[in-house]
Amino acid sequence: MPSQSLTSVLHSQNFIAGKWTAQGTGSLVVLHKYSGKTLAELPLATGAQVERALQAAHEMRLPFSKWSAGKRQDHLQRLHDLLQQSRKEFADLIVAEAGKPLDYAQTEIDRCLATLSTAATECVRFAGEVVPVDYGAGEGKSAFTKRIPVGPVACITPFNFPLNLVLHKLAPALAVGCPVLLKPAPQAPLVALAFSELVKQAGYPKGVLSTFVCDNQVAEKIVRDERVAMLSFTGSDKVGWFLKSICGKKKVALELGGNAAVLVDESADLAQAAQQIAVGAFLYAGQICISTQRIVVVKAVFEDFKRLMLKEIKTVKVGDPSKKGIQVGPIIDSGHLQRIAEWVGEAKASGATVLAGGRIQDAKHNLYAPTLLADVPAAQKVCCAEVFGPVAVLEQVADFGAAIECTNDSAFGLQAGVFTNNLAHMRQAHEDLEVGGVIINSIPGFRLDSMPYGGIKDSGLGREGVRYAMEEMTEPRLLVY
């Protein structure tokens, strides 16, 4: 049985057009990711229920778009305050259903509060622009734009940040006046459903939010439906690009992850770099789309860095995510655990050297040992695909230019970290790295919830970060007079 703190926020129903419903077709069992025990059993939403959610969102699109900025701000602040009051219960639920280490789950709640606070602030300063037209054929005229919400947004989110990645879609939508249809990850939907109750308590009318789990066929109906004005998806590149191909004329924002690289040059503080990279590669068992996967080090400092990195790996704590100080908890399910083991096995068979880990540490609890590989052929999945596990690949290159070329030799381009104290290398990285963000003297996993975030190539399109998502969810309407 779930603990009392979890019971207070657990919902075993879908939230359809502002109402909880226990009816559905089939069921989804959500497991505690460390113990393997059942947390909840949810009904899968039917096509008819999703139709009610779609129609309610469609009917609410105009009334919600007319809310004043002040009213939208007040409601977001209520949401912030309600979450603050239940922060312990929400953090515990994230630990249970997502297997996230407790310290990191508490940090996620802090970030959720910051996301809501930022959205509330942006409500009253988000605006269009004055357009200069007073010349030529426009002489004597004035022009400006107003940002208009696009309408209902279909949001599909992953398991690894089961609340904050929901809020990176929901908070901007609420800030501009777009209704939301939310499909959280089936591995970890409970915290999104728990937050839906806060939305109800905050006084939002029915139709502003529907949150539900459903099968893929029903989910595709939402993506294809013409009443949905925008699709916002975070997940795998394969699924994301497929959904884009079937969504029709609607706007699309895709955040699709990658195989993030960090570059280390001869001017870097190697001890600092090794300490941060060990965290960046293995925290939350590497189940972060900007987890450090490729470590590209110039030859002049390669051996020194490797020695320091191996020393740091020995300090990484693996185990029960509910315990303080644990950094590596369970892989989300046994299927992904076996996939990671297979990818590492394939790399070893191709000649890779295992410097650390390289094995399942505890199959019962889905724990994989923090792993560092070297001498890995570039075509191996642990290099060119997204591992989404506690596995990093150490690569030696001749110089910083070669490090950039190595990093760019990827189908992905989300974020990269660069450890350097060379100003010319910082400028070169910003100019030449084919990624959405370059983080200096830190890991690629650095993210503030207000900054623009997104990638290029197979890593997606569009940008999140509260204000930038608000821009994605609105269109400029021009007035000339």
Distance (Å, whole) CA 192 – CA 214: 14
Contact predicate 423/323, CB 8 Å = no
Query: Rounded to 5 degrees, what angle do the CA atoms 330, 333, 336 make?
Result: 100
H/E segment holding residue 431: helix 423-432
Best CA proximity match to 253, nearest among 26, 475, 111, 460: 460
H/E segment holding residue 305: helix 302-313
Partners of 395 in the beta sheet? 296
Best CA proximity match to 19, nearest among 273, 286, 212: 212
Contact predicate 203/75, CB 8 Å = yes
Residue type at 58?
A: H
Best CA proximity match to 391, nearest among 330, 442, 319, 343: 343
425 in the Ramachandran plot: left (φ > 0), alpha (ψ -120 to 50) or beta? alpha
Residues carrying an active site annotation = 255, 289
Cα 13 to the center of its chain, rounded Å: 24
